[in-house]
Amino acid sequence: LAVVVLGPQAWWFSEEEVSEALGGAPVVRAGHKDFPDGETYVRLPLELRDVKGEDVLVVQSLAPPQDKSVWQLLLLVEAAVGAGARSVLALVPYLAYARQDKRFLPGEPVSVKVLLKSLAAFGARALFTIDAHSPKSLEHFGGYYENVLLFDELAKAVASGEGGWELAVIAPDAGALERAKALAEALGASYDYLEKYRDRLTGEVKVKPKALSVRGKVVVIADDVISTGGTVALAARSVLEQGAEGVVVAASHALMAEGAFAKLSEAGVKAVYALDTLPPKEGVRYVKCLKPSLRRVALSGLFKL
Ligand code: R5P
C-alpha cells in the first residue's frame, strides 16, 4: 500500500493529477504553519490516511524561501518515518542548492551535499528530482536516485510556439551544453554554446565573444535555471547582435527572482518556456512536469499501491 503526501511547496499541483498519474494512489496534503517566532511546523494528516507499513512519496519542491522549503521536506520525511512508513521516497521537482556543488572559493560548503546527506539521514530511501544542476552531485544522497530530464516535453512546447522558424539551440555556458544538445535533438535543430565566466566574489557574469550560426534563425537558449535572468540576458544580447531573428528561452526551472522578467524582456527575449517545477510566475509558458516524473516513480518499483 502506498500514499502520496503533498508538501506545502507542491500547492500548485492538484491531488487529481497526482493520483491519476499513479494509477489512483491516495493523495493527502500535509498540514503546515509557521509559529509566531518563525519556526516551521508540519503534520501528516494521519486521521485522513494512516501511513503505517506503507510506501510514502513526499512531493515538495525547494522553492523560495529555499531554507524553509528544505526544512519542511526534512520534517515531513522524519514524520513519515516516525509514523511507521515502510519506506519514504521524495519527489523534489526543483532541487535548491544544487548549484553550490563544489567549493568554488576556499572556506565554502558543498551545500548540495549537506542537503542530500540530511535527506538520507532522516530516512528518505529514494530521491527523484528534475534536471539537477549537476547530476553527478546526486551521488551525495547515497541511496537510489533518478534525475528526470524532460527535454522532449519542453521541445514540444517550443516547437508549437515557434513553429515556422528555423531554430538554433544555444547553451549560455559549457555546463548547459548537454541540455542544449538534448533539446536540439528533440527539435531537429542545430546547437552550440557560449562561454560564460562568473566572478565568484562579485557574482558578475561575462560572455566571451564567439561567432555562432544564428543569422535569420530563432534562437532557443537552453539552461537549467533562470534565477536573476542575467545569464540568459547576456546570451540573448549576444545572439541578437549576430543577426538572430528572435530569441526565446527554454529552462527546466524558472525561479524568476525579482526583476528577472524585465531583464529578459529588455534583452529582447520574446518568450520563456519552463517546466512547472516551481510556483507559477506571470509571463512564463509552463510545461507540466508531474505526470512524466511520477511515471518514473511508478516504474522504479519502489512505490507499490
Ligand atoms: C549556472 O551555472 C546555472 O546553470 C544558471 O545559468 C544560472 O544559475 C542562472 O542564474 P541567473 O539567471 O541569475 O544568471
What is residue 204's predicted lDDT score, i.e. its pLDDT? 87
Going by their DSSP bridges, the two strands 124-130 and 284-287 should be labelled as unpaired
pLDDT tens, 210-242? 999 999 999 999 999 999 999 999 999 999 999
99 Cβ inside 6 Å of ligand 1: yes
Cβ atoms of residues 82 and 50 within 8 Å: no
Among 301, 300, 304, 275, which residue's Cα sits nearest to residue 290? 275
Just list the catalytic residues.
Answer: 196
Does 229 sit in the ligand 1 pocket, CB within 6 Å?
yes
CB of 178 sitting under 6 A from ligand 1: no
Ligand 1 atom 8 nearest Cα: 225
Closest Cα to atom 3 of ligand 1: 225
The pTM assigned to this predicted structure is: 0.96
**CA–CA gap between residue 147 and residue 129 (Å, rounded):** 5
CA 176 / ligand 1 centre spacing (Å): 10
Q: Residue 20 Cα, ligand 1 centroid: separation in angstroms?
A: 34
| Nearest protein CA to atom 7 of ligand 1, as residue | 225
Which pLDDT does position 149 carry in this prediction? Answer: 98
User: Distances from the Cα of 33 to the Cαs of 38, 39, 117, 122, in angstroms?
Assistant: 9, 9, 25, 21
- What is the pLDDT, as a whole number, of residue 203? 84
Atom 10 (ligand 1): residue with closest C-alpha? 227
In this prediction, the residues of the chain whose per-residue pLDDT falls under 50 are: none
* Pairing of the two strands 218-226 and 246-254: parallel
- Burial category of 33 from C-beta neighbours within 10 Å (exposed 0-12, middle 13-18, buried 19 and up): exposed
**Residue 91 C-alpha to ligand 1 middle, in angstroms?**
23
Which pLDDT belongs to residue 198? 84
Q: Which amino acid is at 228?
A: T
| Cα(3)–Cα(56) distance, integer angstroms | 5
131 close to ligand 1 (CB < 6 Angstrom): no
Q: Is the CB of 256 under 6 A from ligand 1?
A: no
User: DSSP H helical segments within 130-175, as ranges?
Assistant: 151-161
Tell me, in angstroms, the distance from the centre of ligand 1 to residue 281's CA: 18
**CA 172–ligand 1 middle distance (angstroms):** 9
* 26: preceding bond cis by omega (within 30 degrees): no
Report the pLDDT value the prediction gives residue 249, as an integer from 0 to 100: 98
And the C-alpha cell for 219? Answer: 534562437
Alpha-carbon span 39 to 68, nearest angstrom: 9
pLDDT tens readout for residues 159-199: 999 988 999 999 999 999 999 999 999 999 999 999 988 88
Q: Please, what is the angle between helix 151-161 and helix 177-187, to 10°?
A: 60
3-state DSSP helix/strand/coil percent for the chain, to nearest 5?
Answer: 35, 30, 40
Do the Cβ atoms of 297 and 128 come closer than 8 Å?
yes
